[in-house]
Amino acid sequence: MKTIFKISIILVSIVLTSCGGVPEGKTDAASSDNAFSVEEVLEMVAAENDITRTLYTKAIVGKGKAQGMKFDEDWRKDDVEAGPLPALFLRGVATSIQKGPVPLGLYLGSDFPINAANKFVGKQADLFEEIKKDQEPKFFYDEEQKLHTAMFADLASAGACVTCHNDHKQTSKSDWKLGDVMGATTWQYPKDSLSYKETVAVLNSYAKGTVDIYVEYLNEIEAFENSEKPEIGEKWPAEGKYLPTAEVFLDSVKKLTSYKTMKHLVAAK
């Protein structure tokens, strides 16, 4: 089976090369003019995700709760007037990316999940065992899905992560501690190297995903009938019953992430 696959890759490559095109799934990054390896790009987008996720968890959910704002796993239901939990915010980002043209996959899993659908299986379960020990990112090529895959530790970075998971009625583990590796984000992309343009497209699709889910949250608030609506503008929940607009939220993410990402992008040019 594998040999047949390899032969067909070679044939496809020959056909494409002889037609003058560049084979899409080419494995030799050095011979193409692509600027980044898939590992570098997934590391960049994972770093942006870390900052976005922390900002949302701490500045919106954490501070928002202190102002009486609600966040719920059933936030989309008509009778629930609440915002998305951090994990569902991430799912929203993943769904938005999936709807767009960039072939980037994003998934949040664990070995002891609240939602059984988030349990790692196969190779990802094996690698997650290593991540729990060394907290280092893992990269591999998923032969079955034909996707380059990267996994990054998702840490219990706030007290709220621990208490909510430990106390959840569906939890499969109730002794999480601050700093534990609670799960990992898995990122996938079909090609082993990306051009400068493709890299920017990956970063933009992630940013668009955060705006899409955040706007969904603001629309949900708009439809509140029984709950107090926070004022949406320039201010953050730390200052009172306020929420930033999508632009203000994205602006903060950009300010926090852009330096690291830009260093990467500039270094490659």
* Token pair in block for residue 214: 């955040």
| CB closer to ligand HEC, 33 vs 167 | 167
Instruction: Say if CB 225 and CB 70 are below 8 A apart.
Output: no
Q: How far is the CB of 151 from ligand HEC (least distance, A)?
A: 12
Q: How far is the CB of 170 from ligand HEC (least distance, A)?
A: 7
Q: How far is the CB of 53 from ligand HEC (least distance, A)?
A: 7
| CB closer to ligand HEC, 119 vs 264 | 119
Dihedral of alpha carbons 23, 29, 33, 34, sign: positive
| CB closer to ligand HEC, 91 vs 191 | 91
| CB closer to ligand HEC, 34 vs 230 | 230
Residues making up the chain, counted from first to last: 269
Residue of this chain nearest to ligand HEC (CB atom) = 183
| CB closer to ligand HEC, 118 vs 195 | 118
Question: What is the C-alpha to C-alpha distance for residues 151 and 97, in angstroms, rounded to an integer?
Answer: 18
Residues that bind ligand HEC (CB under 6 A): 57, 71, 73, 85-88, 108-110, 113-115, 118, 154, 156-158, 160-161, 164-165, 168, 182-183
Q: How far is the CB of 161 from ligand HEC (least distance, A)?
A: 3
Q: How far is the CB of 101 from ligand HEC (least distance, A)?
A: 25
| CB closer to ligand HEC, 132 vs 168 | 168
* Token pair in block for residue 149: 């895959």
CA distances from 246 to 11, 27, 123, 219, 232 (A): 48, 39, 37, 11, 9
User: Quick one: how far is CA 251 from the chain centroid?
Assistant: 18
Counting beta carbons within 10 angstroms of the beta carbon of residue 193, is it exposed (0 to 12), middle (13 to 18) or buried (19 or more)?
A: buried
Return the SS3 of 149.
strand
**Partners of residue 232 on adjacent β-strands:** 243
Q: How far is the CB of 238 from ligand HEC (least distance, A)?
A: 17
* Token pair in block for residue 102: 């960039």
